[in-house]
Structure 1
Amino acid sequence: MRKGRSGNPCVLASALILASCGGPKALALPTQPVDRAATCGVVATASARRATADIQAPLPIAAEGHILHYALLGASADGRFSSETAGAIVKRMPALEPEITQGQWQTLIPACQAAFPEAEKSDVTLPAVKLDAQLGCGALAQFTASALEPAKSHYARELAEYRRLRGTISDRVGPALRARAGSDMAAQREAEAEAMAKIVRAGPPVAVLAECGRRFGR
């Protein structure tokens, strides 16, 4: 999965060279929701790679979070987070990557900014309702840790912190979650999916998780 998000450095290097020589084809942002979010994830990857001194070096975890943000937002369009849709977006990225990075991908940056304005936020504002914030923080921590697991050698400390945060929150929210959703597991998962859709709009994922840790991780 890491290759799908951070991209193949060789493909990206060739694409960046091609772009400097002229000739890449014009691109348009897809209208299909999964492809639209995946395309913006690829564009974010290419932008992050272009900003690094070593194109084959691991990206900063904040950049990885920014790439994942498009999957999170694309999977939360209807007010509830769908892990299936998020997974489909992440898996679609490597399939779209060659055509995008060999084209005029820079021209898609404004389109992605317009399609996903929440991905441009730099500040963090957790949901005002405590349970929404807790559930969202726990779900985001779990998703991010799972998504970056293939690259755990680069982000081991952060992933351990995210898993610890998820565990701490899970241990604490039981009574409040049951008060909201009852004891039915499906209803509880629905409550978490709705909270996740709120937290993905709270700011950059890695910065959000840092704030979650300060608020609920101790």
Structure 2
Amino acid sequence: MNCTRIAQWLPLYASSDLSDAQSVQVRAHLAQCESCATLADEYAAAREWMQGTGAPEFDETFFAELRYGVRQKLAAQSVRAAWWTLRWQPLVVAVALLLLMIFSLRLFQTKGVPPTNIAKRHAPLQQPEAVPTPIPPINELAQTQKPRVPWRKHGRALRIKQEEKDTIVATATEPARVDEVEKVAEPVMSRIEIQTADPNIRIIWLTQNTQRAAAEPLTR
């Protein structure tokens, strides 16, 4: 068995305070370990010496002095505690008065504020509302957006104008067709309107109908 555990049990083994099973384990270990057996003999000798020495006898003077010393220590401790309490007492009173003054001043200020100001002070902050962007009318939108003529269409219109001029110079009998050429160059706008989920928001798309603009002079 472990010597450390046996060394803890040896004082109890010397005074016969161990159980039967523990005593058997200690005796078996002492038979094998010489150092633990020596330590057990020392505990047994010390116990015999303590039992062989008689209890000391004290007279009445000894007990009187003992009582006097205990009373002196108790009195000194009570005086120290009272001095510590008196030391902190003015500070506690000053702090209590200061807190009372602050509370009274706060209460007086609250009573002097009008009810409307109190309501405004405690009213929750209002979040800014989103303002919808105004949509301009269709006519204004059409006026602000200038039609863009593709360069191919523009070049074609210039060629048509040049051919018409040549025709006018060659025949001199046909009336001028400058108005028709200008109508060909003039774009025709198509309007597409898309309504979104929000009734206040619409998508307007203006496109050029090039086929219709090119076909009008031919039909005439």
Fold match by TM threshold 0.5: no
Which structure is higher in strand share?
2
Determine which structure has more spread, i.e. the larger CA radius of gyration.
Answer: 2
Q: What is the TM-score when the length of structure 1 is the normalising length?
A: 0.16
Which of structures 1 and 2 has the larger relative contact order (alpha carbons within 8 angstroms, sep 6+)? 1
TM-score by length of 2: 0.15
The structure where helix makes up a greater share of residues is: 1
